[in-house]
Amino acid sequence: MQQRLPVIRSFGPIRSLTPVAKPSKENSPITEHLAYLLAQANREINRQLETRLSKEGVPVEQWRILKVLSDGNGHSMGELADAVLLNHPTLTKMIDRMVSDALVYRVQDPKDRRKVLMFVSDHGKALSRRLNSLAVSQEEHIVESYGDKSTNELKRLLESLIGTAN
């Protein structure tokens, strides 16, 4: 006669009393918030880029401005402000400085005289090329330590986040 095996009534603690379906987030550390991780990563990468560009004595925002204007087309202030992630008065004042440095110049838009079209000077173009090579070398450095796959995947996810956020 086959021996009765003991009935197993439980495999462990009663799970319904230790809720597992609700990770709750309420008390999660700040380092788990997307907003915080983005701020931290941005800060770090921006610092690195800033360090590179300091070789030319130029802030990151001016690199962005020069890069956008380097397509040779005129860009209005509003358009430019959006593109380089600055609000209007800040951009106006930064452009004032860049005009003083003869990197860019203003032209009133003949089609709409409220607008100002910004253009990059030859001097600005030359600087832009040097800055761009510094920026590219930074990105290559990131790819080296962080990996090509991760970098591309991260870019893809960021683009998609930006897309859904608007």
Partner DNA sequence: TTGAAAATATTGAATATTCAACAATTGAAG
Partner DNA sequence: CTTCAATTGTTGAATATTCAATATTTTCAA
Contacts with a second copy, residue ranges (CB under 8 A):
25-26, 29-30, 32-46, 48-49, 60, 64, 67-68, 83, 85, 132-133, 135-136, 138-139, 142, 145-146, 150-151, 153-155, 157-162, 164-166
**Phi then psi for 86, rounded to 5 degrees?**
-125, 150
For 21, the token pair is 């379906």
| Interface map 42-81 toward DNA (x if CB under 7 A) | -------------------x--------------xxxx--
> Between residues 69 and 91, which has the closer beta carbon with respect to DNA?
91
Residues 20-39 that bind DNA (CB under 7 A): none
Q: Is 129 in the site for DNA (CB under 7 A)?
A: no
**Residue 126 interacting entry, from a second copy, DNA, none, C-beta within 5 to 8 Å by type:** none
Enter the tokens of residue 133: 């090579």
The tokens of 64 are what? Answer: 């962005």
Residue whose CB is less far from DNA, 83 or 134 = 83
In sequence order, what are the residues at sequence separation of 6 or more whose Cβ sits closer than 8 angstroms to the Cβ of residue 99? Answer: 105, 106
Q: Does 95 bind DNA (CB under 7 A)?
A: yes
- From the list 65, 72, 85, 62, the residue with the least C-alpha distance to 119 is 72
Q: Are 127 and 103 in contact (CB under 8 A)?
A: yes
